[in-house]
Structure 1
Amino acid sequence: MIDKVAWIRLENGRILSTRSHGKSVYYIPGGKRESGESDTDTLVREIREELDVTITSASTTHVGTFQAQAHGHPNGTTVRMTCYAADYEGTLTPSSEIAEVIWLTYQDRGSVSPVDQLIFDHLHEQALLD
C-alpha cells in the first residue's frame, strides 16, 4: 500500500494536475507522507516542493480518500490517496521534478492515473468538475 496525500484544487470546473519529467500520465499534486507527518504537514511540504506555493493550513478540507491500483507498479500494488482542498499563497511554478502544470476537465480522465480517475469520477458526480 502506497499512502499519499493529494491537493484538490478546482477552478472554473477544472482541476489542477501535473506531469513529472519522463511520465506520460498526469497526477493530482501531492505525495508520500514522511515519518511522523500529519496529512496537513505532508500536503504543505509536497505542494511547496512540487509547485513552489504555500498551502494555507487552516483552510484544508477533506475531500475524500480513494484507493486503486498504483500506476506504474506491479499488479496488486495499491495507492491510497487522502485528498484535501485548500487555499494557497504564491504563484504556481513547476519545480525541477515537474515538467508541466495543467488544468484538466472530466474529458481528460483517460490521461490520469487509475486513482485519479476515481477522484475525477467523484468530483464530476458532485458537479465540481466539468
Structure 2
Amino acid sequence: MQRVTNCAVIKDDKILLLQKPSRGWWVAPGGKMESGETIKESATRECREETGLSVIDPELNGVYTIVIEENGQTVSEWMLFTFKAVDYSGTLLSQSPEGTLKWWKCNEVAGLPMAEGDQAFIEHVLNGKGIMFGTFYYTPDYQLLRSRLDPAPATNE
C-alpha cells in the first residue's frame, strides 16, 4: 500500500494549490512518502520541493484511504495523510516542477476542477475541526464511486 502526504498552506484567507498538468485538477502540494520518513516529515518535504515554502508546525487534518476499483475489484489502494499549515518561511517558487502554483481565496476553491475526494478534504481543511477520517472509492479514471467520512461533512440544508 502506497503512502502519500499533502499539505494545505493557508494564509490571509487564501490557500495555496497546485494545478497538475495531466488533468488540470487543483491539489494540495504533496506526494509519496520516502522510506523511513514520518508523515509530518514527508508533508513538510513534499511541500518544500513543490512550492519552495518550508511549512512551520503543520498539523494533521485528515487521514484517508483511497481505493481504485475496476469491475468490483480493488486494483490499487493508498493512504493519504493531509496536513494544514498556517505559517511558513521561504519564497514561493515562480514555477513548481509539478505544475502551476496559485494562491486562491478560500471562498473560490469550491468551484475549481479537482477530484471529488479532494473537494471534501479541502473543505474540511478550510472549515472543519479536528481530524477527518475517510475512504474514497474511485474508478481507474478517478470518477468517485462512493465515500465514507467521519465526521460527515456539514450540509447546507
Classify the TM-score, shorter chain.
0.7 to 0.9
1:97 equivalent in structure 2: 98
**Matched-pair contact (CA < 8 Å) for 1:69–1:115:** no
**Residue identity opposite 1:105 in structure 2:** C
Larger radius of gyration: 2
Task: Name the aligned partner's letter for residue 118 of structure 2.
Answer: D
CA distance in 1 between counterparts of 2:64 and 2:92 reads 25
User: What is the count of residue pairs matched by the alignment?
Assistant: 122
**TM-score, structure 2 normalization:** 0.62
Higher relative contact order (CA 8 A, sep 6+): 1
| Divergent runs of 4+, >6 A | none
Higher strand share: 2
Q: With the length of structure 1 as denominator, give the TM-score of the two structures.
A: 0.73
Specify whether residues 54 and 32 from structure 1 end up closer, same or farther in structure 2 by C-alpha distance, changes over 3 A only: same
Question: Which sections of structure 1, spanning at least 5 residues, go unmatched?
Answer: none
1:39 aligned residue: 39
Residues 102-121 of structure 1: pairs in structure 2 closer than 5 A: 102-110=103-111, 111-121=113-123
User: 2:61 touches 2:125 (CA, 8 Å); kept in 1?
Assistant: no
Aligned residue number for residue 58 of structure 2:
60
Gaps of 5+ in 2: 130-157
Letter in 1 for 2:27: Y
Q: What is the Cα deviation at residue 33 of structure 1?
A: 0.5
Q: What letter corresponds to residue 92 of structure 1 in structure 2?
A: L
* Larger helix percent: 1
CA shift for structure 1 position 66: 2.9
Percent identity of paired positions between Structure 1 and Structure 2:
25
